[in-house]
Chains A and B, each alone.
Chain A
Amino acid sequence: MRSANRAVRLKQLALVSVCTALNLGIGFVVAALKLPFYLDSIGTVLATSLGGFGTGLATGVLAVLVGSLYTPTLWAYAPTAATIALFVFATHRLGYLHRLLPTVLWGLAMGFCTAIVSAPITAYVWGGVSLSGADAFTALFAATGKNLANAVVLGGLSTDPVDKLFTSLVAFLLLRRVPDSWKRLRGQ
């Protein structure tokens, strides 16, 4: 029994480190292909789906902390990473990442949630600058006379649902290619 628990723990550790690296590293690949989104939470979605809430939370928070060495604004978005893990954990049993349609719908809903959670951080901690593509939308809304907080919320709502939709679809495809032994991890 003890050795089985140990094996599960080792797998969870491997999963957290791989998914953290995926969160961070996949941005390079996306940038190289010049795709118009960031996909920086695929690892969090995968880790939560395969290993449960704790694994997903550890992955998301660790990724933003380590990623702060490259993007200085990232660490403040730890609550957003936690929201993603919680959202995936809650919706997983409602069909998210099991079937295509729920994945699309819950993916869009996750985008709205993360936009709402991220907006106060971007507006009040970083003065409207998140160092991501959403800044262009924030600037657009600010130029129309909206105050900074509203501009940030609208900017986030314009980009996050699309980003999280693609994130969910990529995670949905990836889950089909993950070896079966990893899929049993959550129930153990």
Chain B
Amino acid sequence: MGSKVLSAPGAVLVSLLVVIAGFFTTSTESIVLSLAAVALCSVDFRVRARLGATIRLLVLSSCLLVLIAAARVIGGATAAAVIDSSVAKLALFARIIFAGQVLLAIVRPKEYLHFLDAIRMPRDLTYVVLSALTLFDYVGAVGRRQLRFLWLKGLTGGTLAKRTRAYARISGPLVSVLLRRQLLHVRSLEYRGFFDADLSPSETQGNKPPMGQTVSLLALLWSALRSAAIWI
């Protein structure tokens, strides 16, 4: 999860652009404008670290779309129709990928907490969403650490059976560590009143962020959802 936080004026401006683009333009223009807005947002808030991941996802999507399109043309489908549908899908994927990566880069778990609190999300759900988001990176880190131990012991190479056994070796400790850690975490939150009815979850976690963050978060989520709705 990234550590950059949005500053209010720029964030509100960019978010409003995304929202206005969606309401007052046709679907294609909306997508182009939203992409431009999200790209601007990325530059503005220095989230270039996510650029590599975004490009990899886009290249993967493009390759698979080209593969499927080519196969359908070989199989007898009309080329023009296949190309049109592939370009439309790529635009949709690009928009969701950009929105998702920008979200991950600019918003910290604490901001998600305030956002979920603001939309009155049930606190159990708030907890599992937030902990899944934060644990995701943790699982990757623990997994990579365990893999490094295996690699140092020379257990990561060789046949498929050998690699599968190596995988089985690390999964047991990984799950036990995660369960123990998470139970401790959920209990500590319980003691701090996170699940209590009289206290809002964000009140247990400190000050609220500027309004701009919540607006941007809403706009980016809206952008991703609307793009999906347009194409379905």
Contact = CB atoms under 8 A, between A and B. Distances in A.
Contact of B64 (A16, A135, A151, A177): A135
B89 interface: yes
A174 interface: yes
Given A29-B167, A66-B136, A125-B232, A174 B172 contact: yes
Given A28-B143, A62-B129, A21 B135 contact: yes
A140 B186 contact: no
Contact of B75 (A11, A21, A34, A144): A144
Contact of B128 (A17, A33, A75): A17
B103 interface: yes
Contacts of B179: 14-15, 18, 178-179, 182
B139 A10 contact: no
B68 A128 contact: yes
B164 interface: yes
A21 B139 contact: yes
> Which of A21, A46, A178, A179 has the most CB atoms of chain B within a 10 A radius of its CB?
A21
Nearest to A27: B140
A145 B76 contact: yes
Interface residues of B, number: 65
A12 to B, nearest CB: 9
A75 B139 CA distance: 21
Contacts of A95: none
Given A20-B128, A170-B168, A68 B100 contact: yes
Contacts of A135: 64, 67-68
Nearest to B86: A127
Nearest to B232: A125
A28 B144 contact: yes
B11 to A, nearest CB: 19
Interface string A69-112: 11111010000000000000000000000000000000000000
A66 B101 CA distance: 12
A142 B135 contact: no
A174 B68 contact: no
> Which of A13, A16, A36 has the most CB atoms of chain B within a 10 A radius of its CB?
A13
Interface of A, helix, strand, loop or mixed by DSSP: helix
A32 interface: yes
A46 B1 CA distance: 26
A179 B187 CA distance: 18
B222 to A, nearest CB: 14
B121 interface: no
A142 B139 contact: no
Contact of A14 (B61, B144, B186): B186
A16 B133 CA distance: 12
B182 A17 contact: yes
Interface of B: 57, 60-61, 64-65, 67-68, 70-72, 74-77, 85-86, 89, 92-93, 96-97, 100-101, 103-104, 124, 127-129, 131-133, 135-140, 143-144, 147, 156, 160, 163-164, 166-168, 170-173, 175-176, 178-179, 182-183, 185-187, 190, 224, 228, 232
19 contacts: A14-B183, A17-B132, A20-B135, A21-B139, A22-B139, A24-B136, A28-B139, A28-B143, A29-B171, A35-B160, A58-B128, A63-B132, A68-B96, A72-B57, A72-B92, A73-B93, A143-B72, A177-B172, A178-B176
